[in-house]
Chains A and B, each alone.
Chain A
Amino acid sequence: MIRMTGLLVLVALLGLAAGRADAQGIDTQNEIALFGAPLQTARAVLAIDGSTDTEVFAPILEAFAKRVPDVAIRYREITTNELYDLAERGCSGAEPAADLVVSSSIDQQVKLANDGCAQPNHSAAVSALPAWAKWRDEVVGLTYEPAVIVYNRDLVAPAQVPRSRFDLIDLLRPADNPFNGRIGTYDIEASGVGYLFAFVDAQQATTFGRLIEAFGRNKVVATCCSAEIIDDVASGRFLIAYNMLGSYALVRAAEDHRIGIVAPSDYTLILSRAALIPKRAKNAELARQFIDFALSGAGRRSLSESGLLVSFDDAGGGLAALSGAVPTLRPIALSPALLIGLDRQTRDNFLALWRSSLGGADPEAR
């Protein structure tokens, strides 16, 4: 039985799920993974949609499956924007809703809750969270991941490694610096997390203007997806990648000695992947159990092992570090203020600024 629950089934999207997704016009390469009891014998199926890579999220799903042996868990990995579209359609009833949505695009999660698409989980575990890590008990932060600078240890001399954004700007100032054309960052038009980091950066400090100006001069490459960008850093195509999600970077750095990581010393943004139970969820109670499990000691350990819960022990220790003890760690609060970034006009204005600053950097992107 335990062996069964531990079984991870990776299914390339081919069968029923593919048909349905296509029918909804979602052009995606999402994967569906099953955990826990076989679908035929399961008492219930907990349907989780998430933006986290399946292999990264699998350990906590497996751990939870052991807690509820008669439940099958279906995890579908989708990109953040599609996740939002699906959830919005699930909210209006146009499409069956998932039981739980876990996304790194927390502004979209807040928007869903603001639009009345979520139901609360008033559990002790949730109320114990700091105020910034939850909103209305509907959007609940499960993980803590820093936005980091990733660099290639072999190609960037230790003295050159930028410790802060000021260092990075200084590094990019000389006209003939070696980083020209070899800096990667998220394409904020395609990546929800990339947009969120950039938008919050713009609010945090005036350095942002100078930074994207420097990026523009140095023909920064804005592209998609953490994994690809970090691969390119490892291979040496990029020397530096800016605003990478710490969870992926740390896991890769542990395996690959070529990858170095810096948490900027001026300030480090902390993202907390947010879970939300859709209003029309069929197994909301199971979803609540999962959230409470993820916030429990066992769940925390599992998330830490996956790199989703980055320990800030080096910088000052655990959650205390996130609650103001270390002033350079700046958690992005789950609050309606995140809605601004999603405002149509504001987003257009911000993207226009981004595009005009990066100038002709884009053509090289894809």
Chain B
Amino acid sequence: MNRRTTSITVRLAVTIALIIAAGGIVISVAAYAYGRQAAQEAYDRLLAGAAFQIVQSIAVLEGRIVVNLPVSAFELLALAPDDRVFYRIIGPDGGTITGYEDLPTPAAASEDVAFYSDEYSGETVRLAAALRRFAERGFTGQVQIIVGHTTRARGALARDITTKALGLVAIAGVALVALVAFAVRSSLGPLARIEQALRSRDPKDLSPLTVSTPREVETIVAAINRFMGRLASRVTIMQNLIADATHQLKTPIAAVRAQAELASEEQDPARLRTIAGRIHTRAVGLSRLADQLLNQALIIHRSDAAAQEVIDLREVAIRATDETDHDLLSTGLDLHLDLPEHPVHARGDALSLVEASKNLLSNALRYGAPPVSFSVEHKAAEGIAEFAVVDCGHGIPESDWRDSGRRFARSAGSLPDSAGLGLAIVNAVAEAHHGRLAFSRTPEGRFRVALEIPVVEGAP
């Protein structure tokens, strides 16, 4: 059962919702602050306009202040339609010339228009105060004009601005959500296409996917294709192995059966014994062949699947020597093991390398001529190491070197109990270690076969 994580759509939806909510709160606060300020400024200008008009309407007549309140000033104030309007004109002696006598005055009189808020007549009022200086015959001094109104229109405008701003934010939010939904659908589209491509293909088809995908999804496709590649090579190996086994087992089994049929009709005990001997020989070869086939399957499996670690190749050589068929060694053939003094490190699978080395040794011991030497050689200049086996026999003819190591490569002169698989295994191990199988002649004309693999320099 796969562990399900939260869907991308839900993640995006939650994230966007949080962003919009947080943004909405910030914008609401900002919009309200802005709305208040805008309303304040707009209506303050109105007040200032009215104050200036009243200032202009004040005249000095025969040493007396005369105020003819301009209708336009009040019509200006009436632009805040539902607000109560207050005014006061104060003479140089501080006495109210006309207007509301208890209207609050500003904290400090200024030449310019001063704006201030205060409580008056049970409501908050916004006031503007202006000054006019007179220097006329019979009258010198300054007159202060105060104009104010309640703040209903300001509040309404601030609310209006805020509401409209929030309306826009809401529309933008909805649009954003719709866009995100669309974006998620369209960006998850390639995944659906991959799924479709996988589902619709033939079960035996392990070729790479050719769906066109955006860069971000390419890695997924590449991973799928790598996996498919491995699967394909496994399947191929399995098929080859089965084909090999069938092919290689068919002849010896047929031979054993033929001998057995002969034996069943043979009356002469001496010849019967001879036939039994042949059957035994064939059976031994058959069992070695079966061994090798299983070995190869195991090694091919390991080369593909086993974790490669850094190993000392000298240990591999010692193990290979130890495990080499004692029957072969006990025949008195001479084996010379030659190892360097310093460790030779390489990245690889010890078991595979041991098997490959054993195969090389067995071949030399079984088919070559003694003395046989087995050495590990470190070629630091080329960054490789070799398991080299040299014998004094004829070895494989040079014309067959290219084909040796391939499956079914069997020279005409191979013996009936030769599996013919030995070099194929070595070759497979070499490839799995990014190395190769090399044949050569020593200067003395001896046959030399080597398994080369890259070394890891300076490893512990």
Residues of A with Cβ closer than 8 Å to B?
A: 113-116, 131, 135-136, 203, 335-337, 339-340, 343-346, 349
Name the contact of B98 in the complex, choosing from A135, A136, A335, A345 (C-beta under 8 A).
Answer: A345
Q: List 20 A-B contacts (CB under 8 A).
A: A113-B84, A114-B84, A114-B86, A115-B121, A116-B121, A116-B123, A335-B74, A336-B77, A336-B83, A336-B85, A337-B71, A337-B75, A337-B78, A340-B69, A340-B71, A343-B67, A345-B66, A345-B67, A346-B68, A346-B69
Residues of chain A within 8 A of B122, CB atoms compared? 116
Interfacial chain B residues near A343, Cβ < 8 Å: 67, 69, 98-99
Is there contact, CB below 8 Å, between B74 and A340?
yes
Inter-subunit contact B82/A135 (CB<8 Å): yes
Whether, in the assembled complex, B214 has its beta carbon less than 8 Å from a beta carbon of chain A, the answer is no
A336 contacts B67, CB within 8 Å? no
CB neighbours (8 Å) of B123 from chain A are 116
Give chain A nearest CB distance to B391 CB in angstroms.
117
Check B413 for interface membership: any CB of A closer than 8 A.
Answer: no
Do A339 and B67 have beta carbons less than 8 Å apart? no
**Distance, CA A345 to CA B88, complexed state (A):** 12
CA distance A346 to B86 in the complex (A): 15
Whether B67 pairs with A346 at a CB distance below 8 angstroms is: yes
CA distance A36 to B68 in the complex (A): 48
A56 to chain B, nearest CB (A): 31
Query: In the complex, what residues of B have CB within 8 A of residue A344's CB?
Result: 98
The interface residues of chain B lying within 8 Å CB-to-CB of A335 are: 74-75, 78, 81
CB-CB under 8 A from B38, the residues of chain A are none
A131, A336, A337, A340: which contacts B84 (Cβ < 8 A)?
A336
B97 within 8 A of A: yes
- Chain A residues with CB under 8 Å of B97's CB are 345
Nearest CB in chain A: distance from B341 CB, A: 108
Chain B residue numbers with a CB within 8 Å of A349 are 66, 68
| 10 closest residue pairs by CB, A with B | A336-B85, A337-B74, A345-B98, A345-B67, A116-B121, A335-B78, A340-B69, A114-B84, A136-B82, A344-B98
Query: Which single residue of chain A is at the shortest CB-CB distance from B122?
Result: A116
Interface residues of B in 105-150 (CB under 8 A from A): 121-123
Residues of A within 8 A of B81 (CB): 131, 135, 335
Give chain B nearest CB distance to A190 CB in angstroms. Answer: 22
Say yes or no: A339 contacts B74, CB within 8 Å: yes
B214-246 Cβ-contact flags toward A at 8 Å (1 or 0) = 000000000000000000000000000000000
Least distance between A83 CB and chain B CB atoms (Å): 20
Q: Given contacts A113-B84, A114-B85, A340-B71, list 20 more A-B pairs with CB under 8 A.
A: A114-B84, A114-B86, A115-B84, A116-B84, A116-B121, A136-B82, A335-B81, A336-B84, A337-B71, A339-B85, A340-B69, A340-B74, A343-B69, A344-B98, A345-B67, A345-B69, A345-B98, A346-B68, A346-B69, A349-B68
Enumerate chain A residues within 8 angstroms of B121, measured Cβ to Cβ.
115-116
Closest chain B CB from A94 CB (angstroms): 17
